[in-house]
């Protein structure tokens, strides 16, 4: 059975002004991401990886074309609807974990669930399950400063999927980690994707990790192409 398309960019344009010049990052770009797959975004710095992730995550508006999340055209939606989609359907992981330092690992994962209206009991149970799934349940009560880099990123991944999103967008999630730790974190991320059926788009410079994903895409001349 064909997997459902949960993210689609259709003929998307994105430009930025540089003085009197216009810098075109994406030109009539097309891309689809399907449920249950992990796609590597591999491209040199400055070609638009972060721009693509920001557009896909509804953090920026395209200058042309359309972005669909779970079949819904998002380009012309009001800000409150775009915020609701980001909160419910999209999870973000960055190169730096951005965990709240004053809260424990468990509390960091509970936070987005509480914001979405879950009870404290439900949020705590799901956070504990996610920490166990990421194999760091024994570190639940530790604050970020007490965790290793790999542990911090696994907590960040768990937090990103706490509200059971359709899409996970990750920008160099293992970029600050040594190769062995990066591989371990990716193993946990891959297992989570396979188990939950979410779709993941991961920007990375790590070609070894990219080779382990379902597909690899790059940005060339403003187009998104598979390689």
This prediction has a pTM of 0.90
pLDDT at 220: 93
Here the CATH number for the domain that contains residue 130 is 3.40.50.300
Q: Among residues of the chain, what percentage have pLDDT more than 70? A: 99
In the predicted structure, residue 2 carries a pLDDT above the cut 80:
no
Mean pLDDT of 170-178: 86
* Residue 109 near residue 130, CB atoms below 8 Å: yes
- Segment 8-25 shows an average pLDDT of 90
pLDDT higher than 90, residue 195: no
| Average pLDDT for 135-159 | 93
Residue 167 has pLDDT above 70, yes or no: yes
* Structure confidence by residue, pLDDT tens digits, 55-95: 999 999 999 999 999 999 998 899 999 999 998 899 998 87
Q: What is the pLDDT of residue 1?
A: 59
Residue with the bigger pLDDT between 187 and 224: it is 224
What pLDDT band is residue 180 in, cutting at 50, 70 and 90?
Answer: confident
pLDDT tens per residue, range 90-122: 999 887 788 999 999 999 999 999 988 999 999
Question: What is the DSSP pairing of strand 72-73 with strand 223-226?
Answer: unpaired
Q: In angstroms, rounded to a whole number, what is the distance separating the alpha carbons of residues 34 and 8? A: 9
> In terms of residue numbers, what domain contains 25?
3-224
Report how far residue 47's alpha carbon sits from residue 51's, in angstroms, rounded to the nearest whole number: 9
Total domains, the chain: 1
């Amino acid at each position: 059975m064909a997997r459902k398309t949960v993210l689609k960019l259709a003929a998307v344009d994105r430009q930025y002004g540089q003085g009197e010049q216009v810098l075109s990052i994406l030109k009539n770009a097309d891309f689809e991401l399907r449920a249950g797959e992990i796609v590597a975004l591999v491209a040199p710095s400055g070609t638009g990886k972060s721009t693509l992730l920001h557009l896909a995550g509804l953090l920026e508006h395209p200058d042309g074309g359309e972005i669909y999340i779970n079949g819904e055209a998002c380009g012309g939606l009001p800000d409150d609807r775009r915020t609701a989609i980001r909160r419910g359907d999209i999870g973000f992981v960055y190169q730096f974990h951005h965990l709240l330092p004053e809260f424990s690992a468990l509390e960091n994962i509970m936070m987005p669930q509480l914001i979405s209206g879950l009870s404290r009991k439900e949020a705590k149970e799901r956070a504990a399950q996610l920490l166990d799934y990421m194999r760091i349940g024994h570190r639940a009560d530790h604050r970020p400063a007490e965790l290793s880099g790999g542990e911090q990123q696994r907590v960040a991944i768990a937090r990103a999927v706490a509200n059971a999103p359709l899409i996970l967008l990750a920008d160099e999630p293992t970029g600050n980690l040594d190769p062995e730790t990066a591989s371990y974190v990716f193993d946990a991320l891959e297992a989570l994707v396979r188990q939950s059926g979410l779709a993941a788009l991961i920007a990375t410079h790590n070609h070894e990790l990219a080779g382990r994903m379902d597909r690899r895409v790059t940005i060339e001349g403003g187009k998104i192409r598979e390689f």
